[in-house]
């Protein structure tokens, strides 16, 4: 169960940073920076699932 907040602001921030880096490079002389340099999922605020206590929240258990 995912209890983390959305990572949409992080993705927007990283995409803006990528676009700014591409705009600052002279594309006629250099290669654009690789997309993988921006927005690593391991550095984001939401990195996947979080643990919760099923005894405190039995309504969230499916079975």
State percent of the chain over pLDDT 90: 13
CB 21 within 8 A of CB 38: yes
Distance CA 4, CA 52 (A): 11
What predicted TM-score, i.e. pTM, was given to this entire model? Answer: 0.58
* Those residues with Cβ within 8 angstroms of residue 11's Cβ, 6 or more apart along the chain or in another chain: 39, 44
CB 53 within 8 A of CB 61: no
Instruction: Identify the segments of the chain with pLDDT beneath 70.
Output: 1-4, 46-50, 63
DSSP state of 29: T
Give residue 57's pLDDT: 84
What is the CA angle 45-25-7, rounded to 5?
Answer: 15
């Amino acid at each position: 169960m995912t209890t983390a907040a959305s990572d949409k602001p992080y993705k927007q921030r990283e995409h803006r940073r990528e676009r700014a880096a591409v705009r600052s490079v002279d594309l006629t002389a250099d290669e654009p920076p690789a997309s993988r340099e921006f927005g690593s999922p391991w550095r984001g605020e939401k990195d996947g699932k979080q643990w919760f206590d099923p005894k405190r929240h039995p309504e969230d258990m499916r079975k």
